[in-house]
Amino acid sequence: MKNSKKGSGYVQSIQRAMAIIETLDKHGELGVSEIGEKLDLERSTVHRILSTLRGLGYINQNPANHKYSNSFKFFEIGNNVVQSLGFRKQAMPFMRELSAKSNEAVNLAVMDGKYVIYIDKIESPATIKVDLSVGKRMPAYCTGLGKVLLAYMPEAAVREFFKDESLIRYTNRTITNIDKLCQHLAQIREQGYAVDDEEYVDGLFCIAAPVWGHAKTVVAALSVALPKFLYSKSDEEIASIRDMLIDVAQRFSISLGYEAF
């Protein structure tokens, strides 16, 4: 299988099953041959794994074209995971406060491997129309929320995440060099917040701050998203929103048991 990880700790059949699930998540409905081609797996192997996953309720098969897709069981599991994250409910009063003060969209996210996943948000009437819905996974290296979460990880772990892949250039502002990214993350750690100035989506400006847990680790990130194409705020207004964000994120962290502030 392409890009497979080998080692005594890996179970090949599980690894292949997860690769099929992730491929269906990325490409949508696919046939057995299409999955086999994308993953460099034998047709019989793909069919056997799909049959097992289908029997367990994780895969659906379209009776019209016989192609396969992931079932809503993953949505149910993901929703349960989000619900089990107690700070989501605790975050809402702080998010509402920040939204009311800034009059902008507010997002809450956590790390999911080398991606950032949005677990809650409050929309703004002026929010740029981009697919940043709850449950959406975005590349961490070029989003404000993701960069904050990466910044407080060991640099070696960040380099490990991206050692086997190129950093995709989404806009002309995207950082695509791992050394430059690590330098940028060090600056984020020093200043205590991250800025995404049209690095992932043209027209979107985002400021993000870390949320700390009782174990003195960053457990989530909060952000304020501003649509640059609608209007331009002054440096003073941006600084005011940044300070609001940092203050709210710190008070949220304290509510979670963090005592370093």
Given a cut of 60, whether residue 129 has pLDDT beyond it is no
Average pLDDT, the chain: 85
229 has pLDDT over 70: no
| Whether residue 133 has pLDDT greater than 70 | no
Q: Are residues 53 and 85 in the same domain?
A: no
Whether residues 35 and 89 fall in one domain: no
Instruction: Among 19-28, 124-133, 225-234, name the most confident range.
Output: 19-28
Residue 250: is its pLDDT beyond 60?
A: yes
Name the pLDDT band for 78 (thresholds 50, 70, 90). Answer: low
Domain co-membership, 228 together with 130: yes
pLDDT value at residue 118:
87
Please check whether residue 248 lies inside any domain of the structure: yes
- Residues 86, 29, single domain; the answer is no
Instruction: State CA 203 to chain mean position distance.
Output: 19
Q: What is the pLDDT of residue 73?
A: 78
Q: Are 84 and 63 members of one domain?
A: no
Query: Does residue 54 sit in the same domain as residue 162?
Result: no
Q: What is the pLDDT of residue 192?
A: 95
- In a shared domain, residues 130 and 218: yes
- Place 236 in a pLDDT band, splitting at 50, 70 and 90: confident
Residue 228 has pLDDT above 80, yes or no: no
Q: Mark whether 97 and 203 lie in a shared domain.
A: yes
Whether residue 140 is found in the same domain as residue 196 = yes
**For position 149, which CATH number holds?**
3.30.450.40
pLDDT given for residue 76 in this prediction: 65
The residues with which 34 forms a beta bridge, in sequence order, are none
Do both 38 and 84 map to the same domain?
no
Residue 7 maps to a domain: no
17-31, 79-93, 223-237: range with highest mean pLDDT: 17-31
Q: Is residue 6 in a domain?
A: no
Q: Confidence band (pLDDT; 50, 70, 90) for 237?
A: confident
Between 82 and 219, residue with greater pLDDT = 219
Query: Whose CA is closest to 35, among 14, 52, 18, 10?
Result: 18
Indicate whether 243 pLDDT > 90.
yes
pLDDT mean over 93-112:
91
The reply to whether 44 falls in a domain is: yes
Instruction: Tell whether 51 is covered by a domain.
Output: yes
Domain-ending residue, one of 71, 88, 111: 71
Higher pLDDT, 21 or 72: 21
Mean pLDDT of 19-44: 91
Task: Give yes or no for residue 87 having a pLDDT over 80.
Answer: no
**What CATH code is carried by the domain that includes residue 49?**
1.10.10.10
Domain assignment present for 144:
yes
Dihedral Cα 110, 116, 120, 123, nearest 10 deg: 140
Report which of 184, 198, 199, 208 is spatially closest to residue 232, judged by C-alpha positions: 198
| Tokens 């008070």, located at residue | 251
Same domain, 162 and 248: yes
Residue 196 lies inside a defined structural domain of this protein? yes
Establish if 25 belongs to a structural domain. yes
Q: How confident is the model at residue 111 (pLDDT cuts 50, 70, 90)?
A: confident
pLDDT in the model for residue 244 = 95
**Of 29, 48, 71, which residue sits at a domain end?**
71
Last residue of a domain, one of 71, 100, 120: 71
Q: Quick one: 62 and 134 in the same domain?
A: no
Structural domain total, the chain: 2
Could you give the percent of the chain with pLDDT greater than 70?
85
Extract long-range pairs of 115-119: CB within 8 Å, 24+ residues apart.
Answer: 115/139, 115/140, 115/146, 116/140, 116/143, 116/145, 116/146, 116/149, 116/221, 118/145, 119/82, 119/85, 119/88, 119/220
Domain that holds residue 63: 12-71
